[in-house]
Amino acid sequence: MKKIMLLGSGELGKEFVIACKRKGMYVVACDKYAKAPAMQVADECEVFSMLDGDALMAAVEKHKPDIIVPEIEAIRTEKLYECEQKGIQVTPSARAVNFTMNRKAIRELAHTELGLKTANYKYAKTFEEFQQAADEIGYPFIVKPLMSSSGHGQSKVDSPAELQKAWDDAVAGARGDIKEVIVEQFINFDYEITLLTVTQKNGKTLFCKPIGHVQKGGDYRESFQPMPMTDEHLQAAQDMAAKVTAALTGAGIWGVEFFISNKDGVYFSELSPRPHDTGMVTLAGTQNLTEFELHCRAVLGLPIPEITQEKAGASAVILSGVETECPDYVGMESVCEAPRTYLRIFGKPVAHVGRRMGVVVCYDKLGTPLDEIRDKCKALAAKVEVK
């Protein structure tokens, strides 16, 4: 039995813990608030800010984990190098986590060092620099904090009149202590995908079938798999994903995001060194192994001989429209009576307006039109109301 310390205990971490418990592992779930989803299924839990380096190292010293698995961005990531020096495995690696938790670092690696095709971009630390970057990139553009998650602080800017609000939102939405933004050319893409990529300790890099997704304000709303795309574009995405994950090193699952333009090709967008929210569609049994089972196997060094597509599927989120503690849910019966459907309530102890509280996943046989499954899934998710 190995002891795993999970840094961040949201809904993705919860499914990962379940996968680890099925392999007989001991899990300590950590987050900044009590009763987080992953804590509800873990062996032990700790509550502290992972941006507090001393508190992080104190928890590591207390529990002496064999493996540390980051699940969120807001971590004092430089401390993970110390953990590696102590002989603790960091997933995928301290290098990977440090690079990918900061959009500037990963963009420079992808674009400048590896030569991957990306949107044009500039950085800004002040509003004046932001204005200048906007003029150079041109309208419309996308602005994002260098460190954030779930779309916090991200927006599309169409005119100079929107600059001040976009800047204020980006600074307010930043996680950690990095108050810098990236101004990114708006790509007129036809669709966007997540390519779940699995790197192994002793095996070849594997790819899941592409997952199409829809985001609003940079936050995931629905996903569907397998997303049809040309062999040429799929190969380009796989080549880029293999190149960037190899450069970052380590074993685990990576959510690699791409913009796909039928005219201009494939653009690298972002990368997460952990299970991806859009990958929750795999909870519908679309693959022989969910993204959480894949991550667990990769982390533990267990072999993954293949990833096979078993079904077509879709996911749609359940968002809260209220602020409340100990939330209740109305309409679950409507979802549960639908065939080829699963309901997953995350168990978050507090609901905020716009917070993701659950997901509906639907599946059908391969070849079923994805639009049919997507429409069904979104309609069912809309029936669940947070009270």
Span 151-200, pLDDT tens digits: 678 888 999 999 999 898 888 877 666 678 889 999 889 999 999 999 99
Q: Is residue 170 a part of any domain in this protein?
A: yes
**What are the pLDDT digits (tens) for 255-266?**
999 999 999 999
Looking at the fold, whether 165 and 282 belong to one and the same domain comes out as no
pLDDT above 80: residue 217: no
Residues 31-51: what's their mean pLDDT?
Answer: 97
Q: Is residue 85 a part of any domain in this protein?
A: yes
The CATH number linked to 154 is: 3.30.1490.20
155 included as an active-site residue: no
**pLDDT given at position 305:** 94
Q: Is residue 108 a part of any domain in this protein?
A: no
Asked if 239 and 249 count as a contact pair (C-beta separation under 8 A), the reply is no
Beta bridge partners, 214, equal 222
Q: Is residue 97 a part of any domain in this protein?
A: no
Q: Which of 102, 99, 160, 165 is nearest to 134 (CA)?
A: 160
Provide the token pair at 2.
């190995």
Q: What are the angstrom distances between the C-alpha of 191 and each of 39, 116, 145, 278?
A: 36, 19, 23, 14
Looking at the fold, whether 172 and 218 belong to one and the same domain comes out as no
Higher pLDDT, 372 or 150: 372
Q: Is residue 112 a part of any domain in this protein?
A: no
Domain around 166: 120-185
- The residue from 159, 185, 211 where one domain ends is 185
**pLDDT given at position 105:** 83
Out of 73, 270, 291, 293, the active site residue is 270
**pLDDT given at position 104:** 80
Looking at the fold, whether 219 and 356 belong to one and the same domain comes out as yes
Q: Is residue 224 a part of any domain in this protein?
A: yes
151 included as an active-site residue: yes
Out of 93, 148, 149, 269, the active site residue is 149
**What are the pLDDT digits (tens) for 62-106?**
999 999 999 988 888 899 999 999 999 999 999 999 888 777 888
Out of 31, 46, 257, 293, the active site residue is 257
**What are the pLDDT digits (tens) for 282-338?**
999 999 999 999 999 999 999 999 999 999 999 999 999 999 999 999 999 999 999
Provide the token pair at 267.
């653009």
Phi, psi of 227 (to 5 degrees): -75, 120
0.85 exceeded by the pTM? yes
The CATH number linked to 246 is: 3.30.470.20
Asked if 257 and 274 count as a contact pair (C-beta separation under 8 A), the reply is no
Looking at the fold, whether 301 and 382 belong to one and the same domain comes out as yes
**What are the pLDDT digits (tens) for 115-138?**
999 999 999 999 999 999 999 999
Sequence-ordered alpha helix ranges (H) in 249-343? 291-300, 332-336
pLDDT above 80: residue 147: no
Phi, psi of 76 (to 5 degrees): -75, 80
Looking at the fold, whether 273 and 344 belong to one and the same domain comes out as yes
Rounded distance between C-alpha atoms, residue 220 and residue 179, angstroms:
24
Q: Is residue 179 a part of any domain in this protein?
A: yes
Looking at the fold, whether 181 and 195 belong to one and the same domain comes out as no
Q: What are the angstrom distances between the C-alpha of 304 and each of 203, 295, 334?
A: 8, 10, 37
Rounded distance between C-alpha atoms, residue 349 and residue 370, angstroms:
33
**pLDDT given at position 100:** 82
**Residue 224: what residue type?**
F
Q: What are the angstrom distances between the C-alpha of 302 and each of 130, 246, 279, 295, 305?
A: 47, 19, 21, 10, 10
Out of 11, 31, 277, 291, the active site residue is 277
pLDDT averaged over every residue in the chain? 94
With bands split at pLDDT 50, 70 and 90, how would you rate the model's confidence at 254? Answer: very high
Looking at the fold, whether 250 and 329 belong to one and the same domain comes out as yes
> What is the β-pairing status of strands 67-70 and 3-7?
parallel
Looking at the fold, whether 48 and 127 belong to one and the same domain comes out as no
128 included as an active-site residue: no
Looking at the fold, whether 178 and 213 belong to one and the same domain comes out as no
Beta bridge partners, 223, equal 213, 315
pLDDT above 90: residue 348: yes
Rounded distance between C-alpha atoms, residue 372 and residue 368, angstroms:
8
**pLDDT given at position 174:** 76
What is the rounded (10 degree) CA torsion for 292, 293, 297, 299?
A: 10
Count structural domains, the chain. Answer: 3
- The residue from 128, 154, 185 where one domain ends is 185
Looking at the fold, whether 303 and 212 belong to one and the same domain comes out as yes
**pLDDT given at position 260:** 97
Out of 356, 358, 364, 374, the active site residue is 356
pLDDT above 70: residue 22: yes
**pLDDT given at position 172:** 84
pLDDT above 80: residue 143: yes
306 included as an active-site residue: no
Looking at the fold, whether 13 and 52 belong to one and the same domain comes out as yes
Phi, psi of 228 (to 5 degrees): -70, 135
278 included as an active-site residue: yes
Looking at the fold, whether 30 and 134 belong to one and the same domain comes out as no
**pLDDT given at position 144:** 87
With bands split at pLDDT 50, 70 and 90, how would you rate the model's confidence at 150? Answer: low
